[in-house]
Structure 1
Amino acid sequence: MSIDHRTVDHSWLADLRASLADDFATQTSRLRELTEINADTGDPGEAHNRAELLVTTRRNIEQITGALRRIADGTYGACEKCDRNIPVERLEVLPHARFCVPCQENHKG
């Protein structure tokens, strides 16, 4: 089952949009907390972990923002490479998916 923009379940899309907006708020708050922490404990491992958390949080925000943009402009669920519909099952697991599985595999490889 894929998203067909002509017959998309608008309540599912509205719920998804709300969930992504909540995730965005959570990640933004997390980013704010991570950037406000100035305590240098002198532990290089802790500094490395904090840096990785910052990178991951920023990437999460970018992915969420991209999904929200695609919902707003009506392209959500369409593969950015081949323009085929991304299966709903994939989007349920990975709501920020930009590519169908074959194109994702080619994109990484």
Structure 2
Amino acid sequence: MNPIILDDLDPNIIEWLKSRAQKHGHSLQAEVKSILQHLTVRKTEEVKLFAEDIIQCKADLMLQQIQIHSQSIDKNTPELMETSTGNSQQELLEIKAKLKELQSGISLGNLSIREARELGR
């Protein structure tokens, strides 16, 4: 394990850490380690929630685009649009399967969606 050395810490911070360690029955090192682990777990959870929000926004946008396109080719997708917000992972998988069914018949001129996406990169 690699040691971490912190130079020039404010004496008030060191006193606060020592006081906190004493309250929890930890050594100073164990208390600092505990604080860092707690912050890391919290940050990981925040990132996970943020990623899930991005996925939901992308799913909503994709459903809106498909609805616009389906209206232009006279196909109806109301059941997909009704479930576009607040979906569970299982619901998103079901929507994905429905979208795959629709995708086979959708094209942009002579381009498939995949080809159009690649050209847009």
Between Structure 1 and Structure 2, the one with more helix by share is 2
| Greater Cα radius of gyration, structure 1 or 2 | 2
| TMscore range, shorter length | 0.3 to 0.5
Normalising by structure 1, report the TM-score. Answer: 0.36
Larger relative CO (CA 8 A, sep 6+): 1 or 2? Answer: 1
Normalising by structure 2, report the TM-score. Answer: 0.33
